Amino acid sequence: TWLLGTSAAASAEGDRLVVGGYWPAFGLSLDLHRPRVLVLDSDLGVIRSVDAAAGLDLLLSTVEMSRDGTMAAYLGPGRQVDIMDVESGRTFTIPDSENWAASLAFSPDNRLIAGGGVSARGEMSVAVWKADTGEHLYRLDGHGPPVPTNDGGITATMGTVVVFNPVSEDLVSGGFDGTVRRWDLQTARSTILHTFPFEVASVAVSNDGSLIAASDHTGEIVLLDAGTGEVLLRPERVSGRTFLTFSLDDSLLAGAGPDPVTNVWDVASGRIIRRLHGAIYQAKSVAFLEGGSVLMVASGESVQRRYLLDPHRLLELARAEVGRDMTEDECLRYLDRACES
């Protein structure tokens, strides 16, 4: 069981997962829970386990896994970004990185890692380092001051969000100023692709590199052309801030939202096709596993909550649990084939 500040990220194929949260080391008292980061296989078997930052730092940070599953990034116990080589278990710390762990992203070739500024500390910039040495390469300033809320106050998301395009290797960010930006790392200049009236909560790029999904803290979601920023679709909106990720084949978009319900959209139509219930607290992040057939939902009380998205697997599970064989009519209706003899 994981408590408070849970986050999760998966490799592109969904065969490895990195999770962060509080681990009950000695009992059920919260005082005895210790912050940990685990690297798991798709069956939730532990590959690596390391200490993480505690308290508010854990709540304001995230974990990230490289697309090939060989590297993981997280806020370490020294309150700096730590990088783990999953195969060897070797870790190293990026110095002076504590203000850029609100969002972490590896470049597709694992050469770079980017970090989004943490809102509680006033940073609105993006930092970029070499992923193998931690050498600082760029500080990207350009996101403006926070936009006001509809009641005149200032919004308070975790910080600037960042993601690399897996095809073009462009860096995309979303900020307190409501803008979604694409960065030229050589010139440290950005192009505004879209502007929300409120803070950007999440950005995600499709695996084929053609689409950007972005959401603001009110629940508005847009699908953008990754090259031009043109709004291609406005998916069915939700009740508040949601954190997005694409499935491996880019047909689905999943979002962890402000309540215990996790939504799954059909990318082609923008309609919500599944609402996944079961969590007690709000979902904080989502990750597709096993090529996209399983969705991992990380919420406040538990990271080990998996949902089967393949209806055939769900029906086969139901058949194994039901106390009688399915009829021929049921097999044809639900399995699209005749019953097995």
> Given pLDDT bands bounded at 50, 70 and 90, which one contains residue 319?
low
Higher pLDDT, 296 or 95: 95
> Given pLDDT bands bounded at 50, 70 and 90, which one contains residue 32?
very low
Average pLDDT of span 88-93: 95
Residue 294 has pLDDT above 70, yes or no: yes
Q: How many CB atoms lie within 10 A of CB 305?
A: 18
Q: What span, in angstroms and rounded, lies between the C-alpha atoms of 59 and 159?
A: 11
Q: What span, in angstroms and rounded, lies between the C-alpha atoms of 262 and 282?
A: 9
Higher pLDDT, 29 or 24: 24
Q: What span, in angstroms and rounded, lies between the C-alpha atoms of 252 and 273?
A: 9
Residue 53 has pLDDT above 90, yes or no: no
Output the pLDDT for position 151. Answer: 46
Query: In the 8-state DSSP scheme, what is residue 259?
Result: S
Amino acid at 240: G
Task: Say if residues 58 and 35 touch (Cβ distance below 8 Å).
Answer: yes
Q: What span, in angstroms and rounded, lies between the C-alpha atoms of 48 and 37?
A: 8
Task: Say if residues 217 and 155 touch (Cβ distance below 8 Å).
Answer: yes
Residue 292 has pLDDT above 80, yes or no: no
Q: What span, in angstroms and rounded, lies between the C-alpha atoms of 272 and 104?
A: 27
Output the pLDDT for position 3. Answer: 42
Higher pLDDT, 113 or 119: 113
- In angstroms, what CA-CA distances link 209 with 77, 221, 315? 34, 18, 33
Residue 274 has pLDDT above 70, yes or no: yes
Condensed to tens digits (0 to 9), the pLDDT of residues 185-223 reads 988 899 999 999 988 999 999 999 999 999 998 889 999
Output the pLDDT for position 260. Answer: 74
Higher pLDDT, 256 or 315: 256
Amino acid at 331: C
Q: Is the dihedral of CA 245, 204, 290, 208 positive or negative?
A: positive
Residue 188, by phi and psi: left (phi above 0), alpha (psi -120 to 50) or beta? Answer: left
What does pLDDT average to over the chain? 84
